[in-house]
C-alpha cells in the first residue's frame, strides 16, 4: 500500500512540472498558453478583459528561453488591427543560471466594439540552432459600447454611387488668353506710337480742311444760310486757334474788342462779315446762293491774308532776334 501511495505522489509532481514547462502561469485577469518547443515557455495576460472604446488596457507577454537565446518582440500591434498602442512599450529582462526571461507590457486602446483581436505578431526566438516563432494570435479584448441599447447596433449606410468628375483642360484656354493679351498689348503700343507721332494741325491747315469739307457738302446751293454760318464758324475757329485773346464764346462785338490790337487780322473785312452772318443766325435774314458764295470767298481771303501777315511778323521777329 505504501509503495502504491509513493507512486501516485511521484506522478502528481511530474505532471505539475510538465505543466510549468509547457505554459508557465502569468498572473492577471486573462491568461493563455501557446504550445512552443519544450525549451520555450510562454505566458500571456490581458488586464482588464473588458474595456470601453478608447480605454487603456495592458497586454502582458512573458517568455522564458534557455540562456543565450535572443528575444525580439513586436514594437506595436499590426496596422490592420483595430487596437493601437497608447503608451511606450515596457520590457523587463531577468537572467538566471539556466534561463533568460523577458516580460513585455503593451499599453493599448481599442477603437471598435465587440471582441477585438489585439493583433500582436509572433515573438522571434533566435538561438544558435536556428530561429523559432512563438505565436500570439490568441490575444483578445472585449470592447463594450457605452451607447444606449437602441443605438448600440450600427447599421452603416449603403455606399454612394461613384462621383464622375470631368477633368478640365485649362492649358489651351491659358494659351489663348495669353495670345489675346499679347495682341491687345501690341495694338495699344501701336496706337500710342501713332498718336504721339501724329503732328497737330496748324490753325491754317485746320481751317483749310474744314473749308474743304463744307465745300463738298453742297450747302452752298441747297442751304445758303447754313453754308454762310458754317464758313464764318471756321473763321471764328481759326481766330481762336491763332490768337489766344480770342475765344469762341465771345459775341462779334466782344471779339472785335479782343482783337483790336491784332495787326495781322484785316478787321475792316472780318468784323462786318461776322455782323452780317449774325443777322442770318439770330434774325432769320434770308441768304441767297450768291451771298453764300461771296461769304465763303471772303472767309478764305481773310484767312489767307491773316496767315501771310503772321508769317511776315514771325520773319521780322526772327530777323530782329538774329540782329540783336
Number of domains in the chain: 2
Whether 8 and 141 map to the same domain: the answer is: yes
Q: Could you tell me if 51 and 139 lie in one domain?
A: yes
Kindly state whether residue 60 falls inside one of the protein's structural domains: yes
Nearest CA to 90 among 113, 125, 59, 45? 59
- pLDDT tens track of the chain, all 324 residues? 333 444 333 333 333 333 333 344 333 334 343 444 447 888 888 889 898 888 889 989 998 988 888 888 888 887 667 788 878 888 888 888 888 899 999 898 888 888 888 888 888 888 888 888 888 877 888 888 777 665 556 677 888 888 777 777 889 999 999 999 999 999 999 888 887 766 678 899 999 999 999 999 889 889 999 999 999 999 999 999 999 888 888 888 998 898 888 888 898 999 999 999 989 888 888 889 999 899 999 999 999 999 999 999 889 888 988 888
**168 part of a folded domain:** no
Same domain assignment for residues 222 and 316: yes
What does residue 275 show for φ and ψ, rounded to 5 degrees? -65, -40
CA distance 27 to 292: 131
Q: Is residue 125 part of a domain?
A: yes
Q: Which pLDDT score is estimated for 80?
A: 67
* Local structure of 54: helix, strand or coil: coil
- Verify that 19 and 130 share a domain, yes or no: yes
Could you give the CA distance from residue 179 to residue 185 in angstroms, rounded to a whole number? 10
Last residue of a domain, one of 145, 166, 192: 145
Give the end of a domain, one of 145, 164, 183: 145
pTM (two decimals): 0.41
Residue 24 belongs to some domain of the structure: yes
| pLDDT 10s digits, 75-103 | 888 766 778 887 888 888 888 888 889 99
pLDDT digits (tens, 9 = 90+) for 28-49: 334 343 444 447 888 888 889 8
Nearest to 93 by CA among 81, 85, 104: 104
Domain boundary residue among 107, 124, 145? Answer: 145
Is 109 contained in some domain? yes
Facing residues of 100 across strands?
65, 95
Q: Do 141 and 212 sit in the same domain of this protein?
A: no
Q: Within a domain: residue 159?
A: no
Rounded to the nearest angstrom, the gap between the alpha carbon of residue 20 and the centroid of all alpha carbons in its chain is: 69
DSSP 153: S
Together in a domain, 132 and 220? no
Q: Do 214 and 302 lie in a common domain? A: yes
> 3-state class of 223 per DSSP?
coil
Place of cell 457605452: 146
Q: Do 31 and 137 belong to one domain?
A: yes
Instruction: Retrieve residue 40's grid coordinates.
Output: 520555450
CB neighbour list of residue 153: distance below 8 Å, 6 or more residues apart:
none
Q: What are the angstrom distances between the C-alpha of 71 and each of 68, 124, 125, 211, 248?
A: 10, 6, 5, 114, 111
Q: Do 140 and 29 fall into the same domain?
A: yes
Partnered with residue 232 across adjacent β-strands are: none
State whether 137 and 208 are in the same domain. no
Among 131, 133, 301, 291, smallest CA distance to 211 is for 301
User: In terms of Cα–Cα distance, which of 127, 129, 141 is closest to 49?
Assistant: 141
Angstrom distances, CA of residue 73 to CA of 30, 62, 89, 104: 20, 10, 10, 8
Q: Is residue 238 part of a domain?
A: yes
Examine residue 169 and state whether it is found in any structural domain, yes or no. Answer: no
Say whether both 90 and 223 belong to one domain: no
Burial group, residue 237, by CB count within 10 angstroms (0-12, 13-18, 19+): middle
42 forms beta bridges with 63
Kindly state whether residues 113 and 43 are assigned to the same domain.
yes
Q: How far apart are CA 81 and CA 103, in angstroms?
A: 22
Query: What's 49's domain CATH number?
Result: 2.60.40.10
The one-character DSSP state at 60 is E
* Structural domain of 87: 2-145
Amino acid at each position: 500500500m505504501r509503495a502504491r501511495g509513493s507512486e501516485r505522489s511521484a506522478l502528481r509532481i511530474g505532471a505539475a512540472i510538465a505543466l510549468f514547462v509547457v505554459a508557465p502561469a502569468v498572473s492577471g485577469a486573462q491568461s493563455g498558453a501557446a504550445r512552443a518547443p519544450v525549451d520555450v515557455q510562454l505566458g500571456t495576460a490581458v488586464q482588464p478583459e473588458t474595456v470601453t472604446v478608447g480605454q487603456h488596457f495592458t497586454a502582458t507577454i512573458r517568455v522564458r528561453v534557455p540562456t543565450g537565446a535572443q528575444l525580439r518582440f513586436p514594437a506595436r500591434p499590426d496596422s490592420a488591427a483595430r487596437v493601437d498602442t497608447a503608451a511606450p512599450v515596457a520590457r523587463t529582462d531577468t537572467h538566471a543560471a539556466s534561463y533568460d526571461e523577458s516580460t513585455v507590457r503593451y499599453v493599448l486602446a481599442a477603437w471598435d466594439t465587440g471582441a477585438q483581436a489585439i493583433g500582436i505578431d509572433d515573438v522571434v526566438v533566435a538561438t544558435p540552432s536556428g530561429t523559432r516563432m512563438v505565436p500570439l494570435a490568441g490575444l483578445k479584448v472585449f470592447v463594450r459600447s457605452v451607447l444606449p441599447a437602441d443605438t448600440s447596433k450600427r447599421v452603416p449606410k449603403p455606399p454612394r454611387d461613384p462621383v464622375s468628375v470631368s477633368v478640365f483642360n485649362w492649358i489651351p484656354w491659358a494659351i489663348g488668353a495669353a495670345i489675346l493679351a499679347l495682341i491687345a498689348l501690341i495694338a495699344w503700343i501701336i496706337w500710342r506710337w501713332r498718336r504721339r507721332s501724329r503732328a497737330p494741325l496748324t490753325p491754317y491747315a485746320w481751317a483749310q480742311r474744314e473749308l474743304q469739307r463744307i465745300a463738298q457738302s453742297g450747302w452752298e446751293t441747297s442751304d445758303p444760310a447754313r453754308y454762310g454760318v458754317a464758313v464764318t464758324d471756321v473763321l471764328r475757329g481759326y481766330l481762336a486757334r491763332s490768337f489766344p485773346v480770342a475765344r469762341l464764346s465771345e459775341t462779334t462785338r466782344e471779339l472785335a474788342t479782343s482783337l483790336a490790337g491784332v495787326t495781322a487780322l484785316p478787321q475792316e473785312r472780318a468784323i462786318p462779315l461776322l455782323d452780317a452772318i449774325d443777322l442770318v443766325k439770330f434774325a432769320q435774314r434770308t441768304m441767297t446762293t450768291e451771298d453764300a458764295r461771296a461769304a465763303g470767298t471772303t472767309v478764305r481771303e481773310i484767312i489767307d491774308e491773316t496767315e501771310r501777315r503772321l508769317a511776315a511778323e514771325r520773319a521780322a521777329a526772327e530777323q530782329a532776334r538774329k540782329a540783336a
